[in-house]
Amino acid sequence: MKSEQPIVVIAALMLLLASAEARPSDPEDGVSTTEARLRELEAKLSRIEQDEDAPSWFVGYDKGFVFRSTDMEKNPFALKINGRMQFRYTNFQNDEDDYVNRGTFFGGPPFAATDIDERSDFEIERGRLEFAGTFWDPRMHFYINIDADTDDNHRAIFHDFWMNYEFNEAFDLHFGKAFVPGSREWLDGSTRTHLADRSMATTFFRPDRSVGVWAIGQPSEGFHYRAMIGNGFNTTDLSPGQMNDEPIVSGSVWFEPCGDFGKGYADIQAENETRTRFGASLTWGREDGTASNGVALAESNFLRLDDGTRLTSLGVTRYDLTLLAVDAALKSGGFGLHGELYYRWLNRIKPTGPFPAFPERTNRSWGFYTTAGYMVVPEEIEVVVSTSTVQGRFKDSWEYAFGGNYFVDGTHKNKLTLDFTLLDGSPAQNSGPGFVAGYDGWLIRLQYQIAF
């Protein structure tokens, strides 16, 4: 359908209504009047079609519900609406009923252990609506992501929200709320993970979202970067009173020497050519300050030691954090392989409180994940194996996982995933992948992802 047709039809209807109101009672006069009206209508429609300044629009579906101008140079406005839901069944059977970490031990007698509950339930992990588009200028864009989870009090929140101006391919300036780019698996998003969600190591080390300013670009063929200055390492949904005045600085670079690596790690089409990607990310931030009641600010509460202990639960109110991540990925002939190595330094740790619960001034931990998948049936069935670890002074934890994906329509937009994960003392806790600090046992996830 031509994009000008809605305007033409509206004009025609308005003229017909006007002619109906002026219709004479004499039949012969009515015929001549109608013929005159029709000639007038044809002339007006002809002028509309020849008017180069008249805006024209496309309304329909194009990888999302779309309303956009057909001439973005003269009338630069576009809106695309997408939606996604991950409907998940989660089952966890714990080998231990509770666990003891450094926090419970230094809390003093009776050294109470933390209870670990088993689970078996359905949930909507990510129910999202996305609005993206262009306005004012062909290079001015916006993006809004509204998210709701059933395990987060059924609230709908502005998960991501930014505007950006694309100066050129090498420099695209953004401002708003988005990922702190400290990890490749984190930065690649949750839509195309190889299993139901991200690895235990990524969940433990990665940053979260923050409000700030960042730039994205491709200054040369195959070389990409993303750099950000934001409020903090993990300040998503926090108010100014819950954050300190120290910014986070984070950047990520990656190189694709064999051409565009593409979205996701599964080689769904089982293409013959080999595609590779190599990258690194570096993040630095300072957590400093206390709330009015004397405890550490909420901004600092995210960080856990390698045994799952929240560092702030040991009376720590200040520390500097540096996170280095190095990643690599390959896709070829239906085979997909990717992994990431993490190294985290904590320096200038400052504890407070009645006793030195955490007297050390530095702490280091490291870990990695690696995942491999193979398309047994191209564009349909993939089998996947994965492992990850978190290593440190207080505890070494492991994750072993296997499962598969069924791509219903050959894409991630209609995908069924089943995975089985054996956790050996998880130090990570996050509702997205379903990890809880202290998990030791089998975690099973059956997930259906549907998107438009």
pLDDT of residue 49: 58
User: Distance (Å, rounded) from C-alpha 120 to C-alpha 278?
Assistant: 39
How much of the chain exceeds pLDDT 90, in percent? 73
> What band does 291 get if pLDDT is binned at 50, 70 and 90?
confident
- Asked if the model's pLDDT at residue 380 lies above 90, the reply is yes
305, 204 contact by CB (below 8 A): no
User: Distance (Å, rounded) from C-alpha 305 to C-alpha 303?
Assistant: 7
Q: Which residue has the tokens 């024209």?
A: 56
Q: What are phi and psi of 140, to 5 degrees?
A: -100, 120
> What band does 4 get if pLDDT is binned at 50, 70 and 90?
very low
Mean pLDDT of 18-41: 62
Distances (CA, A) of 401 to 115, 164, 234, 384, 389: 24, 38, 27, 8, 12
Range in 164-173, 266-275, 294-303, 341-350 with the lowest mean pLDDT: 294-303
State whether residue 18 is helix, strand or coil: helix
pLDDT of residue 96: 78
302, 284 contact by CB (below 8 A): no
- Asked if the model's pLDDT at residue 21 lies above 60, the reply is no
Residues linked to residue 285 through DSSP beta bridges, in sequence order: 248, 321
User: Distance (Å, rounded) from C-alpha 18 to C-alpha 29?
Assistant: 16
Distances (CA, A) of 234 to 128, 258, 283, 439, 447: 21, 34, 12, 23, 27
Burial class (CB in 10 A: 0-12, 13-18, 19+), 213: middle
pLDDT of residue 192: 97
Containing H/E element for 272?
none
User: Distance (Å, rounded) from C-alpha 118 to C-alpha 96?
Assistant: 10
> What band does 36 get if pLDDT is binned at 50, 70 and 90?
confident
- Asked if the model's pLDDT at residue 258 lies above 60, the reply is yes
pLDDT of residue 292: 76
The total number of residues written for the chain in this structure? 452
User: Distance (Å, rounded) from C-alpha 316 to C-alpha 326?
Assistant: 29
How much of the chain exceeds pLDDT 70, in percent? 87
> What's the alpha-carbon Rg for the chain, to the nearest Å?
28
Containing H/E element for 143?
strand 137-148
User: Distance (Å, rounded) from C-alpha 435 to C-alpha 222?
Assistant: 35
> What band does 51 get if pLDDT is binned at 50, 70 and 90?
low
pLDDT of residue 115: 76
pLDDT of residue 22: 45
- Asked if the model's pLDDT at residue 45 lies above 50, the reply is yes
Burial class (CB in 10 A: 0-12, 13-18, 19+), 293: exposed
Burial state string for 303-315 with b = 16 or more CB within 10 A and e = fewer than 16: bbbbbbbbbbbbb
DSSP-derived secondary structure letter, 230:
E
Average model confidence (pLDDT) across the chain: 89
437, 101 contact by CB (below 8 A): yes
pLDDT of residue 355: 55
pLDDT of residue 422: 98
Question: What is the SS3 assignment for 393-417?
Answer: CCCCEEEEEEEEEEECCCCCCEEEE
> What band does 356 get if pLDDT is binned at 50, 70 and 90?
low
234, 207 contact by CB (below 8 A): yes
User: Distance (Å, rounded) from C-alpha 285 to C-alpha 302?
Assistant: 13
Burial class (CB in 10 A: 0-12, 13-18, 19+), 287: buried
Containing H/E element for 13?
helix 5-21
Torsion of the alpha carbons at 70, 450, 279 and 200, rounded to the nearest 10? 160
* pLDDT, tens digit, 9 for 90 and up, residues 88-104: 999 999 887 777 777 76
User: Distance (Å, rounded) from C-alpha 375 to C-alpha 431?
Assistant: 29
CA 140, chain centre distance (Å): 21
